[in-house]
Structure 1
Amino acid sequence: MNKNQQNTNPPPWATKLLRWWADPNTLEETEGDMLEMYAYWQKTAGLTKAKWLYAFTAMKLLRPFAQHKRSQEYSGNHFFSHDMIQNYFKIAFRNLVKSKTFSAVNVLGLALGMACSLLIMLWIKDELSVDGFHANKTQLYRIYMREYFSGKVQGVIWTPGPLAEELKKSVPEIEMATPYEWPSDATFSVGDKIYKRQTNAASADFFKMFSFKILQGTPESALKDPNGLAISRDMAITFFGSPEAAMGKPITMDNQKNLMITAVFENIGLNSTLKFDCLRSWEGFLQDNDWAKEWGSTDPLTFFKIRADADPAKVEAKIKHLLDKFNRDEGKPFRTQLAMQPFHEYYLNSTIKDAHMDGGRIEYVRLFALVAVFILLIACINFMNLATARSAKRAKEVGVRKVIGAMRSMLVGQFMGEAILITLFSISIAVLLVAVLLPSFNNLTGKQMSLPLSEPSFWLTLSGLLLTTGLLAGSYPAFFLSSINPIRVLKGTLKFDSKSTWLRQGLVVFQFGLSIIMIVGMITIYRQVEFVQTKNLGYDRENLIYFPMEGDLIKNYDVFRNALMQVNGVTSVSHMTASPGSNGSGTEGISWPGSEANNQVRFTPAGVGYDFAKTMKLEMAAGRDFSKDFATDSMAFLINETALKVIGFKDPIGKKLKWGNQTGVIIGVIKDFHFLSLHEKIRPLIAYMNTKNKTGSAIIRIDGSKTKETLAGIERVCKTVNPKFPFTYAFTDQSYAQQYQSEQIVSKLSDYFAFIAIFISCLGLFGLATFTAEQRTKEIGVRKVLGASISSIVGLLSKDFLKPVAAAIVIASPVAWWLMNAWLQGFAYRIDIAWWMFVLAGVAVVLIAILTVSFQSIKAALLNPVKSLRSE
Structure 2
Amino acid sequence: MIKNYLTIAFRSFLNGKGYSFINVTGLAVGMACAILIYLVIRHETSYDLSQANLDRIYRVETENIKENHTYPGTYTGMANALRTDLPEAETIVPLMQVGGRTMTAAGSSEKKFRESFVFADNALFRTLDYTWVAGDPGQALAQPNAIVLTRAYATKYFGNVDVLGKSIRLDSKHDLTVTGVVEDYPVTTSFPFNMLVSFPTVKQVDTGFDENRWNGWNDNFQVFVLLKKGIDATQLTGRFEAVVLKYMGKEALSDKRFKLNHLSEVHYAGNLGGRTANVGLLKTLAAIGALVLLIACFNFINLSTARAFKRAKEVGIRKAVGSSRKSLIYQFITEAGLITVFAGVLALILSVLVLPILSAALAIPLTIQDLFVPQTALFSGILVLLTTLMAGVYPALRLSGMAPIWALKNNATSSSGQGFSMREGLVVVQFTVSLVLISCAMLIDRQLDFFRNADLGFNKSAIITVGLPDNRPDKLQTLRSMLSQSAQIKDVSFSFNSASAESNWMQGMEYRQGPKTVQVKTQMKMGDSHYLDTYGIQLLAGEALKDSDTTNFKIIVNEVFLGRIGISNPAAAIGQRVYYGDGNEFATIAGVARNFHVNSLHQKIDPTIIQVVPNNFYQAGIKLQSENAIAAGIQSVLVTIEKAWTEAFPDQVFEYSFLDETLGKAYQSETRTARLIEVATILALLIASMGLFGLATFTAEQRTKEIGVRKVLGASVGSVVVLLSRDFLKPVVVAIILASPIAWYLMNLWLQNFEFKISISWWLFLASGLMMTAIALMTVSFQSVRAAMLDPVRSLRSE
Q: What residue is the counterpart of 2:259 in the other structure? A: 339
C-alpha distance in 1, partners of 2:644/2:371? Answer: 55
Is 1:162 aligned with 2:77? yes
Is 1:177 aligned with 2:92? yes
Q: 1:158-557, aligned counterparts within 5 Å? A: 158-189=73-104, 190-191=106-107, 192=109, 193-245=111-163, 247-287=164-204, 288=206, 289-299=208-218, 300-329=221-250, 334-349=254-269, 361-449=278-366, 450-452=368-370, 455-493=373-411, 494-496=413-415, 502-551=421-470, 554-557=473-476
Q: What residue is the counterpart of 2:486 in the other structure? A: 567
Q: What residue is the counterpart of 1:69 in the other structure? A: none
C-alpha distance 830-233 of structure 1, shift in aligned 2 (>3 A): farther
1:815 to 742, 748, 755: 742
C-alpha distance 498-601 of structure 1, shift in aligned 2 (>3 A): farther
Deviations, residues 787-819 of structure 1 (Å, cap 9, x unaligned): 000110000110111110111111121111222
Deviations, residues 762-810 of structure 1 (Å, cap 9, x unaligned): 1121122233223323321221111000110000110111110111111
The alignment yields a C-alpha RMSD, in angstroms, of: 2.3
Q: What residue is the counterpart of 1:676 in the other structure? A: 599
C-alpha distance in 2, partners of 1:255/1:771? Answer: 77
C-alpha distance in 2, partners of 1:631/1:309? Answer: 54
SS state at 1:129 partner: coil
SS state at 1:574 partner: strand
SS state at 2:126 partner: helix
C-alpha distance in 1, partners of 2:258/2:115? Answer: 33
Is 1:591 aligned with 2:518? no
Q: Conserved in 2, the CA contact under 8 Å of 1:291 and 1:297?
A: no
C-alpha distance in 2, partners of 1:384/1:97? Answer: 18
Q: Conserved in 1, the CA contact under 8 Å of 2:101 and 2:116?
A: yes
C-alpha distance in 2, partners of 1:174/1:183? Answer: 26
2:30 to 110, 113, 124: 113
Is 1:802 aligned with 2:729? yes
C-alpha distance in 2, partners of 1:439/1:327? Answer: 51
C-alpha distance in 1, partners of 2:277/2:652? Answer: 37
Deviations, residues 215-236 of structure 1 (Å, cap 9, x unaligned): 3223323322222122233332
SS state at 2:176 partner: strand
- Measured after TM superposition, the shift of residue 590 of structure 1 is 3.5
Q: Conserved in 1, the CA contact under 8 Å of 2:72 and 2:270?
A: no
C-alpha distance in 1, partners of 2:41/2:65? Answer: 36
Q: 1:771-850, aligned counterparts within 5 Å? A: 771-850=698-777
Q: What residue is the counterpart of 2:608 in the other structure? A: 685
The answer for unaligned runs of 5 or more in structure 1 is 1-83, 352-358
C-alpha distance 581-212 of structure 1, shift in aligned 2 (>3 A): farther
Amino acid at match of 2:248: N
- Measured after TM superposition, the shift of residue 240 of structure 1 is 1.6
- Measured after TM superposition, the shift of residue 694 of structure 1 is 5.0
C-alpha distance 552-654 of structure 1, shift in aligned 2 (>3 A): closer
C-alpha distance 517-735 of structure 1, shift in aligned 2 (>3 A): same
Q: 1:636-675, aligned counterparts within 5 Å? A: 636-649=554-567, 650=569, 651-659=572-580, 660-675=583-598
C-alpha distance 712-319 of structure 1, shift in aligned 2 (>3 A): same
- Measured after TM superposition, the shift of residue 325 of structure 1 is 0.7
Say how many residue pairs are matched.
775
Amino acid at match of 2:486: V
C-alpha distance in 1, partners of 2:472/2:715? Answer: 86
Deviations, residues 514-572 of structure 1 (Å, cap 9, x unaligned): 11111122112222223223322211111111112223765422232122211221111
Q: What residue is the counterpart of 2:538 in the other structure? A: 619
Q: What residue is the counterpart of 2:57 in the other structure? A: 140
Q: Conserved in 1, the CA contact under 8 Å of 2:241 and 2:253?
A: no
C-alpha distance 538-869 of structure 1, shift in aligned 2 (>3 A): same
The answer for unaligned runs of 5 or more in structure 2 is none
C-alpha distance in 1, partners of 2:616/2:257? Answer: 34
C-alpha distance in 2, partners of 1:503/1:595? Answer: 74
Q: What residue is the counterpart of 1:747 in the other structure? A: 674
C-alpha distance 658-552 of structure 1, shift in aligned 2 (>3 A): closer
Q: Which moved more, 1:702-711 or 1:421-430?
A: 702-711
C-alpha distance in 2, partners of 1:321/1:774? Answer: 80
Deviations, residues 362-411 of structure 1 (Å, cap 9, x unaligned): 11111110101100100000111111222232112112212222222121
Q: Which moved more, 1:738-747 or 1:367-376?
A: 738-747
Q: Conserved in 1, the CA contact under 8 Å of 2:39 and 2:376?
A: no
Amino acid at match of 2:56: Q
C-alpha distance in 2, partners of 1:332/1:720? Answer: 48
Q: What residue is the counterpart of 2:662 in the other structure? A: 735
- Measured after TM superposition, the shift of residue 327 of structure 1 is 2.7
Is 1:124 aligned with 2:41? yes
C-alpha distance in 2, partners of 1:155/1:448? Answer: 29
C-alpha distance in 1, partners of 2:233/2:40? Answer: 30
SS state at 2:500 partner: coil
- Measured after TM superposition, the shift of residue 638 of structure 1 is 0.6
Amino acid at match of 1:791: G
C-alpha distance 125-360 of structure 1, shift in aligned 2 (>3 A): closer
C-alpha distance in 2, partners of 1:871/1:834? Answer: 56
- Measured after TM superposition, the shift of residue 469 of structure 1 is 0.6
Q: What residue is the counterpart of 1:702 in the other structure? A: 624
C-alpha distance in 1, partners of 2:24/2:229? Answer: 52
**TM-score normalised per structure 2:** 0.92
Deviations, residues 31-63 of structure 1 (Å, cap 9, x unaligned): xxxxxxxxxxxxxxxxxxxxxxxxxxxxxxxxx
- Measured after TM superposition, the shift of residue 606 of structure 1 is 2.0
Q: Conserved in 1, the CA contact under 8 Å of 2:553 and 2:587?
A: yes
